[in-house]
Amino acid sequence: MRYRQLGGTGLEVSEIGFGGEWMDGTPDQARAVVDAAEDAGINILDCWMPDPTRRSNLGDALAANGSRERWVIQGHLGSTWQDGQYVRTRELAHVRPAFEDLLARFHTSYVDLGMIHYVDRPAEFEELMAGSPFMSYVRELRRAGAIRHVGLSTHNPEVARLAVLSPEIEMILFSVNPAFDMMPATDDLEAYFDERGESAATDGVTPERAELYALAEETGTGITVMKGYMGGRLLDAAQSPFGTALTPVQCLHYALTRPAVASVMVGFGEPAHVAEAVAYETASDDERDYARVLAGAPRHAYVGQCTYCGHCAPCPKGIDIAAVNKFFDLASAYDEVPDSLREHYRALGATAADCVACRACEGRCPFGVRVADRMARAAGLFGC
């Protein structure tokens, strides 16, 4: 298992994470899944689910292994259980006992990442941050050590951008996959799964998401990923907006090649699901290759756009073309290139200025990117 720094939190997390949403079974099943995850080296768990059974099953499984301290737990504030059902709320009369219940059922006095749960409207984000009782409670928990770092979950890139620009928010849980990256910002989650999601693959990668990833990288705001498989739809050609199926390994590779992404939360309902995801760690380049699949899909809008897939390699001058393109795209989101990005770019050694425009790479690009032209523009932007 490979591990990544989660932004500026100082936490090292496994690049494959455990999304507890689908852990709906007996205590023995939960124990089996937790055992499989631990054996694989997974160390980050997202628990937004408020229902007592799943909380207890997961918490008891961690306690039985005596492994609480090795896990990074994302625990959500605002996800509550009322009258036998999930209710998202900011009312402290419900928020406070729900968070205390989470701690009790996980047999712990703290969560590593205290997640402001599910904010998908920019106006709501502004209201929360403007001295709301809810945020006062979050800050109270932070001071007391009941949450070690403050995070936020959202599906909306406009909200995510506001969070990334807020010094108080240290990381975000955000939905990332090749279909969602083509969806315009919306506060309607259902849009991602109805006919608007079906047409997303013909709309092109949205500037909101490109800017978000750039800002997250620049501000040191870590990203953990939800909906990496698009709720399973990307794994089924009949449901995929691209008209073709990707594998779990390909979906994971797409998400993990986005800037600032540290870990993908994968839903595990049984040990086989763990094995399916962890196969990414030993997968070959061909098995990880989402680019060839998307390039051959009947519906997509990636023509001419670099997806950092690496097919352009090798370069006779030793340029890491995918990395140069990534830094170029990140820097292009700013009026002036940030010093940190410029230094990361220069640290590559061979830079875009070393390109001799042989164009051998262009014949290998699945999406027809004019690489030599981009190298010239990158050299001009970075000055080397």
Nearest CA-CA partner of 151 in 256, 47, 276, 294? 47
Most trustworthy range by pLDDT among 143-147, 178-182, 208-212, 371-375: 143-147
- Give the C-alpha separation, 283 to 275, whole Å: 12
Could you tell me the pLDDT band of residue 84, with boundaries at 50, 70 and 90? Answer: confident
Contact yes or no for 40/16 (Cβ under 8 A): yes
Could you tell me the pLDDT band of residue 197, with boundaries at 50, 70 and 90? Answer: low
- Range with lowest mean pLDDT among 121-125, 184-188, 359-363: 184-188
Structure tokens at 327: 């830094």
- Give the C-alpha separation, 17 to 14, whole Å: 6
Position 193 pLDDT exceeds 70:
no
Structure tokens at 326: 């990534």
Superfamily of domain 3-286: NADP-dependent oxidoreductase domain (3.20.20.100)
Phi/psi at 248 (5° precision): -55, -40
Q: Strand pairing partners for 47? A: 75
pLDDT tens per residue, range 254-292? 999 999 999 999 989 899 999 999 999 999 999 999 988
- Give the C-alpha separation, 133 to 14, whole Å: 34
The DSSP string of 15-49 is: SEEEEGGG--S-HHHHHHHHHHHHHHT--EEEE--
Structure tokens at 384: 């080397």
Q: Please return the burial class of 60, using the count of CB atoms within 10 Å of its CB with bins 0-12, 13-18 and 19+.
A: middle
Nearest CA-CA partner of 96 in 130, 141, 56, 45? 141
Q: Is 85 helix (H, G, I), strand (E, B) or coil?
A: strand
